[in-house]
Chains A and B, each alone.
Chain A
Amino acid sequence: EIVMTQSPATLSVSPGEGATLSCRASQSLGINLAWYQQKPGQAPSLLIYGAATRATGVPDRFSGSGSGTEFTLTISSLQSEDFAIYYCQQYETWPPSITFGQGTRLDIK
């Protein structure tokens, strides 16, 4: 089983600043990595897939990078609506299999 580890658990950042969230896999994923945003009381929302491809409608201040076992989600110039919990997710295409990281909470400083 692939284990996903996100860091930090909580990140406090001021609006307008940038944020960098990390996700590490216990074995190489290639680029089979996605990022989601979850706001309180809502279902998660897909941000990034294929490690670096933004989902439809996602602002370009969100960017993903990495391959293999180390991945990063970067949010430039944080807006008030960006403060949420972010999850990374690895996937295997066949048979389909998914594992989530434990999440990083992005708080307003």
Chain B
Amino acid sequence: QVQLQESGPGLVKPSETLSLTCVVSGGSISSYSFYWGWVRQSPGKGLEWIGTILYSGTTSYNPSLKSRVTMSVDTSKNEFSLRLASVTAADTAIYYCARLKRQWVVLDYWGQGAPVTVSP
């Protein structure tokens, strides 16, 4: 059973960089069959895709966030990471990491979510 666990600071100051890591257990992040990705959900709002990454490091980002997002993968640690620069209060959200079936680009396993608040 694949499990994903997010970790990182729950509070980030405006203009700083949000950094989160997702550790994958129960499966290899180096599988060709899966992407790995991030989705966020602002308080009381819907879901927003942030980006996806393949084990090789190939990335694809949401155009609305692309200028501020960097994703990376560490296959030796079976984890991947998200960095979101120049954050504002609008970036306050629960950040989920997830596994995506590569053939269908759907999120079949999710982490429990990491709440992040942007505040001075």
Q: Which residues of A contact B (CB under 8 A)?
A: 1, 32, 34, 36, 43-46, 49-50, 55, 87, 89, 91-93, 95-103
Contact = CB atoms under 8 A, between A and B. Distances in A.
A100 B111 contact: no
Main secondary structure of the interface of B (DSSP, over half): strand
A89 B108 CA distance: 13
Interface of B: 35, 37, 39, 46-49, 52, 60, 62-63, 96, 98, 100-108, 110-113
B27 to A, nearest CB: 14
A89 B106 contact: yes
A103 B42 CA distance: 13
Given A50-B104, A97-B105, 10 more contacts: A44-B96, A87-B46, A89-B47, A89-B106, A91-B104, A97-B49, A98-B49, A98-B52, A99-B49, A103-B47
A91 B103 CA distance: 10
The interface residues of chain A, by DSSP majority, are classed as: strand
Interface centre among A46, A87, A93, A96 (most CB of B within 10 A): A96
Contacts of B52: 96, 98
Contacts of A89: 47, 106-107
